[in-house]
Structure 1
Amino acid sequence: MSKSVAGPEIERLIQLLAKVPGLGPRSARRAALHLIKKKEQLLGPLADALAAARDSVTVCSTCGNVDTRDPCTVCTDQRRDRGVIIVVEDVADLWALERASAMNCLYHVLGGTLSPLDGIGPDDLNIKPLVERISSGEGAKEVIIAVNATVEGQTTAHYITDRLDGLDVTITRLAHGVPVGGELDYLDEGTLTAALRSRTSL
């Protein structure tokens, strides 16, 4: 059993940091030590920022994004194309698409994917609110399903397509295949197969 050389407050900080994705116990100890060394420049402002986030961050009741307002900044931005809704698994995916600045449209966060083995069914995801958004007649003309190319992601995409069947909306999905700058020799067979099936005319 390892002996603790830090006080209980520091140990608690390390334990909490270790729960952050990407940080294990060793990385958490290094991060905690760095924060303590930079107490005035980092630890204090970080504590203030965490407290402010705890008190002000909320989940958008329309799309599922996280923001300090509800509806969120994306949903209330009148400059966006309200005829297109991109469906994503998680808020991190929404943020990634926003960073890419590929489209200026609306989003809908599912909160995960269907996974019977993990006990995640349609009622555990934000699928019903998506159907309600589309059927409400608020102007959505296209739904882009931008879920990950996993078995669970594809199952979720098919389920959503079935649920939206019969509504006056075009359903599209992200293309899968060769990434920009990718070399064929380094790609896996699944990616190459998807690229061939999704080939387009020149």
Structure 2
Amino acid sequence: MSSNRDIDALIETMARLPGLGPRSARRAVLHMIRKKTTVLHPLTELLERVSRNVRECVNCGNLGSGDLCDICTSEKRANGELCVVEDVGDLWAMERSGVFKGRYHVLGGTLSALDAVGPEELKIPRLVDRIGEERITEVILALNATVDGQTTAHYIADQLDGRVTLTSLAQGVPIGGELDYLDDGTITAALKARKAL
């Protein structure tokens, strides 16, 4: 009987993942159980390894296996361009496009009065510090085209006013759209057509 409870608990846990509901989670769990050797065991080992080794980059907020991520340690990416994104999923979306060759700064969210998220809860102070430390010449605000994203962009623009060239993503990003859901071509067009704030 306990195995059924374990299976039910696994289904319940999987159903909490984005994009999976109870039915999808049930199908995924059933598939993993049927394919223990080729799917379940390797997945278990990978989850354990990721849980043990992956951490947030102390510089930019990306994920990696060391204190600094691969992007922050790459000298090729130290070109003076810094792309500010809301979360790691947005950074990964930008990287999928393969167009941006600079570095990133992950805020960890957006300003939101309703959710009591102020500048102190985001990595905006670290962003301001990085401008001088890394000789940043352009900050590209690649925030989601939502009310909170635009509020955050205006706040950052005020904080960096006169210190650096500020641009934002242009055409291709729909109002209310989120970077993680955009295709690579849309991100490429938006990045190439960025405009001054």
**Aligned residue runs from structure 1 range 26-37, under 5 A:** 26-37=23-34
| Corresponding letter in the other structure for 2:112 | S
Equivalent residues, number: 178
Residue 159 (structure 1) aligns with = 155
Which runs of structure 2 are paired with 1:15-54 in the superposition (5 Å)? 15-54=12-51
Structure 1 match to 2:177: none
Offset, 1:177: 4.6
Does residue 62 (structure 1) correspond to residue 59 (structure 2)? The answer is yes
Counterpart CA distance in 2 for 1:5 and 1:81 is 54
The residue type equivalent to 1:162 in the other structure is D
Q: Which residue of 1 aligns with 2:83?
A: 86
Structure 1 Cα separation of the partners of residues 55 and 101 of structure 2: 22
Identical aligned residues as a percent = 53
Aligned amino acid, residue 11 of structure 2: I
Moved over 6 A (4+): none
Note if contact 2:145-2:173 (Cα within 8 Å) is conserved in structure 1.
Answer: no
Stretches of structure 1 that go unaligned for 5 or more consecutive residues are 180-197
CA positional deviation for 1:5:
10
Matched, 1:172 2:167: yes
The structure-2 alpha-carbon separation of the partners of 1:56 and 1:5, relative to structure 1 and needing over 3 Å to count, comes to closer
Question: C-alpha distance in 2, partners of 1:77/1:56?
Answer: 20
Normalising by structure 2, report the TM-score.
Answer: 0.84
Q: Secondary structure at the match of 2:76?
A: coil
Higher relative contact order (CA 8 A, sep 6+): 2
State the AA in 1 paired with 2:25.
A
Structure 1 48/146 Cα, relative in aligned 2: closer, same or farther at 3 Å? Answer: same
Q: CA RMSD in A?
A: 2.3
Deviations 1:70-115, CA, capped at 9 Å, x for gaps: 2110000111143000000010111111111112110000011111
2:146 aligns to what? 150
User: Rg larger in 1 or in 2?
Assistant: 1
| Separation of aligned partners in 2, 1:112 and 1:161 | 16
- 2-structure distance, mates of 1:140, 1:100: 22
Q: What amino acid maps onto 1:170 in structure 2?
A: T
- The Cα offsets for residues 135-181 of structure 1, whole Å up to 9 and x where unpaired, read as 33x210000000011111000000000011232x11110003588xx
Query: What is the deviation of 1:131?
Result: 0.6
